[in-house]
Amino acid sequence: MKQLSIFVENKVGSLAEVTRILKEAGINLRAVASFDSPSYGILRVIVDDPEHARELLLSEKHAVKMTDVLAVELVDKPGALDGALQRLAEAGISINYVYSFVLRKEAEPLMVLHVSDMEQGRRVLQEAGLRVVDKLDS
Amino acid sequence: MIWAKEETLSRKEIQQIQLNRLKEQVEWAYTRVQPYREKMDAVGVRPEHIQSLNDLKLLPFTKKQDFRDHYPFGLFAVEREKLKRIHASSGTTGKPTVVGYTAADMDNWTENVSRIAVMGGATAADMVQICFGYGMFTGALGLHAGLENIGATVAPTSSGNTKKQIMFMQDLKTTLLVATPSYALHIAEVARSMGIDPQKDLHVRIGLFGGEGMTEAMRDEMHRLWGPDMKVTQNYGMSELNGPGVSGECLELCGMHINEDHFIAEIIDPATGEVLPEGEKGELVITCLTKKALPMLRYRTMDITRLFYEPCRCGRTTARMESLSGRTDDMLIIRGVNVFPTQIEEVLLQIPEIGPHYEIIVERIGHLDTMKIQVELADDSLFDSYAGLEALEKKIRGGLRSILGLDAEIKLLAPGSLPRFEGKAKRVTDKRKDLGLNC
């Protein structure tokens, strides 16, 4: 699945500026995570139309990068995430970051993962019987 | 007290000494230093053309660039074996400025610093703590020798480790502090945070400050923290002119007395090089009258000031220079360290992950100078890597520290977010400018 990483300065309103641009274009945010240091932050988002969102943000002079992530469907019960993470650890794959989808109507939760070896990570998860989602159904 | 009789001569007597020494010095430089000879020949001036002090203006200027062109010993007039000491200061790019001293130069240097120390109130009874960094910079060892020479007791505590400085200050009952003004203020703040009142619990009664300019606002702050009775003076020098000891404030605080039997001061228009009339503000140009190892004829200091020649209430008759009011180049003094934006630029340009645009922001936070450098990421390759961005910050900081010896805060920005300039780029914002007037 495609994710957008937006490099933002750590100052008042910088995140709101990004969400404003997406809202005005009617682009829905499916998952969002932000990591910050005292001076800058990386906002990671999954949106309905990443290509369009990327162009919009670039046209407003934002620093955006599109990257691949794994979106894994989990059953909504204790230990589900643990199961997935254990498999990856056993396969020697390290996790760079993980975050979750905001809300999914009548569907299982989705976790977003970025791992050291994306191809192998996908295989390990699929072999464990987990569904890796590549496209959002709109 | 006045240390030397040369500080109270009549104008005529001072000028006679200056002329005699100037002739000798021009001859010395012309016959022994090829770059001086070439420059003088190029404008058709020979040593015998110097017949009055007014003829000084016939001589070409010497600039910091000359040190770079003739690095390290090309401007020296004596063989390396005749040198007693080498010092250095930061250059505009890459190589530092190397200076050296004969035994006689060292004696003159010490004498000049002694005069300035006594001017600022120092006596043989003082317990001195020198909080300048010891090393290639001239500040620490210059003050060190001058204060030992007047009979004071000197503790070379060097810079940094402020709590230990304060411990020594208490235990040794230090009476005289040598530091940059901003470090002196910082020491007082740290002392207070430790529950020590500098006015009541410490014994410091004299501050001899240098390495960076001191504004009147800083002097007021010094009195607030160290006590209204502290004798707070500043002095001036630079390694090309021996080091400290060119001039210093007496307790009348009406400008810095120049040691005129060793230095001739002129003020020029930095754009045209023309000598300006007395009292006008411009770039200070100094000719050294006694320096043998490294003669300096009409050295452009890049410092902006004004000269005045009336005798002072303190009894000295030497010319005085006003507190510096800026630089003609873009040199910054940060925590007493000379920093040229070009040095920073060199470091940044060697790091491929960042672009060529940058901005330097200098501020005084509390009493310490801080330098923040904003740079743009070159491309999107690191946008998604937090670890990569952190490693990049660390790499930039490390590169700057090894060149400048200073820590800087790094701020990474998205590509294209810094302003672009069509003419001369404005890369430096110095928020410290709070100049005060002296007299």
Mean pLDDT of the B240-250 span: 97
Interval B91-107: pLDDT, tens: 666 678 999 999 999 99
Tell me which chain A residue has its CA closest to the CA of residue B376: A63
All structural domains of chain A, each given as residue ranges with its CATH number in brackets, are 2-68 (3.30.2130.10), 70-133 (3.30.70.260)
3-state secondary structure of B159: coil
HSE-up of residue A69 (Cα within 13 Å, Cβ side): 30
Interval B140-155: pLDDT, tens: 999 999 999 999 999 9
H/E run at residue B98: strand B97-101
3-state secondary structure of B106: helix
Binning pLDDT at 50, 70 and 90, where does residue B349 land? Answer: confident
pLDDT at B91: 66
Interval B217-239: pLDDT, tens: 889 989 999 999 999 999 999 99
Among partner residues A39, A61, A67, which is closest to B384 by beta-carbon distance? Answer: A67
pLDDT at B112 over 90: yes
Interval B13-41: pLDDT, tens: 999 999 999 999 999 999 999 999 999 99
All structural domains of chain B, each given as residue ranges with its CATH number in brackets, are 85-329 (3.40.50.12780), 337-430 (3.30.300.30)
| CB-based contact, B384 to chain A, within 8 Å | yes
Is-above-0.90 flag for pTM?
Answer: no
pLDDT at A75 over 90: no
Binning pLDDT at 50, 70 and 90, where does residue B384 land? Answer: confident
Average of per-residue pLDDT values in chain B: 92
Asked if A42's CB is within 8 angstroms of B414's CB, the reply is: no
Q: What are phi and psi of B95, to 5 degrees?
A: -75, 140
CA B146 vs. chain centroid, Å, equals: 17
Going by C-alpha positions, the residue among B429, B427, B431, B432 that lies closest to residue B345 is: B427
Interval A36-60: pLDDT, tens: 777 788 899 999 899 999 999 988 8
Per-window interface: B 358-377 vs A, CB < 8 A: 377
CA B290 vs. chain centroid, Å, equals: 20
CA B259 vs. chain centroid, Å, equals: 16
Q: Which pair of structure tokens corresponds to residue B240?
A: 């090309």
pLDDT at A60: 84
pLDDT at B435: 45
Strand order in the sheet with A95-100: A95-100, A110-115, A70-73, A131-133
Asked if B384's CB is within 8 angstroms of A5's CB, the reply is: yes
C-beta of residue B320 within 8 angstroms of C-beta of residue B312: yes
List chain B residues with CB under 8 Å of A99. none
- Cα B30 to Cα B46: distance, rounded to the nearest angstrom: 8
Q: What are phi and psi of B136, to 5 degrees?
A: -75, -20
3-state secondary structure of B236: strand
C-beta of residue A35 within 8 angstroms of C-beta of residue A97: yes
Q: Which pair of structure tokens corresponds to residue B131?
A: 């909080």
Asked if B389's CB is within 8 angstroms of A37's CB, the reply is: yes
pLDDT at A138: 54
Asked if B383's CB is within 8 angstroms of A64's CB, the reply is: yes
C-beta of residue A117 within 8 angstroms of C-beta of residue A47: no
3-state secondary structure of B421: coil
- CA distance, residue A54 to nearest chain B CA (Å): 13
Query: What's the 3-state SS for chain A?
Result: CEEEEEEEECCCCHHHHHHHHHHHCCCCEEEEEEEECCCEEEEEEEECCHHHHHHHHHHCCCEEEEEECEEEECCCCCCHHHHHHHHHHHCCCCEEEEEEECCCCCCCCEEEEEECCHHHHHHHHHHCCCEEECCCCC
Binning pLDDT at 50, 70 and 90, where does residue B257 land? Answer: very high
List chain B residues with CB under 8 Å of A61. 414, 416-417
- CA distance, residue B413 to nearest chain A CA (Å): 7
* Percent of the residues in chain B that have a pLDDT greater than 70, as a whole number: 97
Interval B283-303: pLDDT, tens: 999 999 999 999 999 999 999
Asked if B414's CB is within 8 angstroms of A65's CB, the reply is: no
List chain B residues with CB under 8 Å of A63. 377, 380, 383, 414-415, 417
Tell me which chain A residue has its CA closest to the CA of residue B416: A61
Q: Which pair of structure tokens corresponds to residue B18?
A: 């200056």
Higher pLDDT among residues B240 and A138, named by residue: B240
- Cα B165 to Cα B188: distance, rounded to the nearest angstrom: 11
- CA distance, residue A60 to nearest chain B CA (Å): 11
pLDDT at B176 over 80: yes
Per-window interface: A 49-78 vs B, CB < 8 A: 61-65, 67
* Percent of the residues in chain A that have a pLDDT greater than 70, as a whole number: 96
* Percent of the residues in chain B that have a pLDDT greater than 90, as a whole number: 74
pLDDT at A89: 93
Q: What are phi and psi of A41, to 5 degrees?
A: -140, 160
Mean pLDDT of the B194-205 span: 96
Going by C-alpha positions, the residue among B109, B386, B225 that lies closest to residue B117 is: B109
pLDDT at B421 over 70: yes
Quick one: DSSP state of residue B261? T
Q: Are strands B354-365 and B243-249 parallel, antiparallel or unpaired?
A: unpaired
Among partner residues B384, B411, B413, which is closest to A42 by beta-carbon distance? Answer: B384
Residue A97 identity (one-letter amino acid): Y
Quick one: DSSP state of residue B62? B
CA B141 vs. chain centroid, Å, equals: 14
Strand partners, A122: none
C-beta of residue B350 within 8 angstroms of C-beta of residue B399: yes
Going by C-alpha positions, the residue among B265, B277, B369 that lies closest to residue B324 is: B265
CA dihedral B311, B314, B320, B326 (to 10 degrees): -140
